[in-house]
Structure 1
Amino acid sequence: MSPDLERLRRKVEAGERLSAAELDALRGAAQGSAGPTLWLTVAHALINAEANREALPLLERLRKDFPKDLQVRLGRARALLGLERYGDAEEALGEALALSPGDPEALKVLAVLAMRRGENARAQAHVAQVLERDPFDTEARLLKEELETGALSAPPPGEEQVLRPEFNAALAAALRRAGVAFRLQGRDVLVKQAGGEVARVDVASLFAAYGGNRQELAAYVDGLAARLGGLGTGGPEAPEAWLARLRPVLRPVGFEAQAAGALFRLGPAGLEVFYVLEDAEFVRYLPAARLGAVGLTAEAVDRAAWRNLEAHPAEVRPAVLDRGEVRLAETFSGLWLLAEGDGYDGARLLTAEQRRRLRLHAGDGPLRVSLGRREYALVCRESDAAECEALARLGHSPDGIAGLFRLTEEGLLPVPSPR
């Protein structure tokens, strides 16, 4: 796939609208393709542009030509949802589940539809299936919280439901109107403020928090764009306030290109240590340019961040790897999980209190560590060959840290890749 075509695919995946020229270029590339992938991208581009009626016949054709393709079924369901044909959409999602039982994307959409109708028991069953396979699925956890708090109720008659791609496109347009520098990156949007700091925002969380209808969407995303563009660190007049909220995070080498202007230092095992301000909604990196204005040094920031994290260790829980997925275990398993859900678990491994807690479970010997997912850290005894091999097979997500590490009393060291 050419770089230009890959760029268009990523825009569509992020829910952005394509220009007429971009859509024509995508159609032209799809004309010469054999499989459904590019035509499916065309269909999603049409849906992003609210051209659901044009997208649906294309998806119907793909459904006939590729009857076993899961993504075609999911795309068709999305178009039907956009046309408010909810019953037909549920039927399409059922077809997707017949092809791939337990598919999390289909189950989450079915859960939302059930919640909109007030069928919370049915929605809970769908969400439970997703979390059974992946306890760390962010969207499923948000749905679970909404179900437990009763935060999401059925919309009044006549209101139009807002879907995730439409929300993404509206947010991107609002950020452009507000003059906010941003970049969509997978499930996140990176927002750069005037002071140089970069905020990484989980769009899924923002979408889940939106409870309005289509008529209210424009005003909501405009307010959100203004808020994102105005994010700061608390200002030079109150450095103590944000010093108390500082936390260290571990990132792979070269991450400074993504968090431009953020303060960082070289860390252990070839990693880099960045500093974030604790925030319930946003990942906010501390800009290096702010230090001089408040009379602080990088060393003082580093000490404060690690001191703060030392006071908040994670619970150490037994876990198992089941077909490449992490699940909690009820008893000793030889694998332990740190998963506070705040993104600091990798850095916690370097704190004294966290190491003490790990020794209570795993003993005094060296540990093998996987930081392949930001949502958690996995460790096992280095002497346990089977668990070490399982960690090696686990791999890493796009925003995780590749490779395995060795944790000893001396600190964190890289494990050489097998030749």
Structure 2
Amino acid sequence: MVLSTLQETKDYIALAASLGKEFAKTAVERDAKGGSPTAELNRLRESGLLKLLIPEEYGGFGQTWVTALKVVREIAKADGSLGQLLGYHYVNSVMPELNGTHEQKARFYSETTRNNWFWGDAVNPRDPKLVLTQDGNNFRLNGTKNFATGSTGSDIIVVTAARGYMENLPVAIVSKHREAVENLPVAIVPTHREGVVLNDDWDYIGQRQTDSGSVSFNNVLIHRDEILGNPDSKDAPSSFASLVTPAFQSVFVNFYLGIALGAFEEGKQYTLSATRPWIFSPAHTAAKDPYIIEQYGDLWVSLISTISHVDYVNSVFQSAWEKGEHLTATERGETAVTISTAKVLTTRVALDVTSKIFEVMGTRAAATKHRFDRFWRNVRTHTLHDPVAYKVHEVGDWVLNEQIPPFTIYT
């Protein structure tokens, strides 16, 4: 579907579902191969979905997070890697609004729509040795980020780095230094600028096409106006700016759910077409086996309940977003806790569904050629991003003690 058709229909979720069906045809092959999903990223560019969240005044489609997150979910049903890449793009592309000046917001939004930019990132706060130092009126970046999702296929990388005065401190000290971790300057860096080296070293069991390998920065020039906001400020971000973490967590929630729904749908089709009833079953087909029917019922109860909660949580995040700079710290904290409930739920349900689906498909479904295990591997890999036990603690501390979590890159 081309851009003109997209403008006519405005049916973004249906478009995402259509693209998902297309991506599903090559998902098994691409999971085995790994690497960068170049053709699929080009299809996302052609679709217009990269501009979904950007306001109409800057050439985008001005859609809500509710729509964008459902689009991520649809893409993830077919391919968790592509769901992650698109979701990260959405968060990264709004960083100028969260952290930048009005002029930076207008500039980067307009250039994104004009050039159809895809945004990646190199923001992992647990890599504190990437350092930003002053160079006249501009800056230089030196060091490495070990994880940089979406880097290879991107046009722009959002980068966070420790300030130069942290350069000579031991890593352990820098890691614990809140200012170095939570008040990091945010730079907007063209992916192919001189000195940026994309290292093809992402080789994990899941999310194998997320372009998440390391990126090295060798004396990379950063212009002063490429640092969002005031480059000299060490103030804590505003409540609105700190929505970056709930935004990422919302993306996680939706592509975990999408992966689980994708596994359920593929399992269902396999059960109907290939699964044989057990030798003691009273049924002649697997679809009529009472135990298989019961298991599908249990799985769907979990999924439909999760869909309902996630849809509610998406609306909570949208409400917080719409408050803009009027968002209070308490409102921000309550939003983060609400999203954490969905993070816990989708982590548990997705891991459960992607594992149990084998029980209703049978032994032959475990053949390598099907790669049905990719759903579990994808969820298992990314849910280690930040331990879900700490999300449970955040929720519990709020429920019991009315303690909202402090802003960090993970909370």
TM-score strictly above 0.5: no
Higher RCO (CA < 8 A, seq sep 6+): 2
TM-score, normalising length: structure 2: 0.29
TM-score, normalising length: structure 1: 0.29
**Structure with the bigger percentage of helix:** 2
**Structure with the bigger percentage of strand:** 1
Say which one has the larger Rg: 1
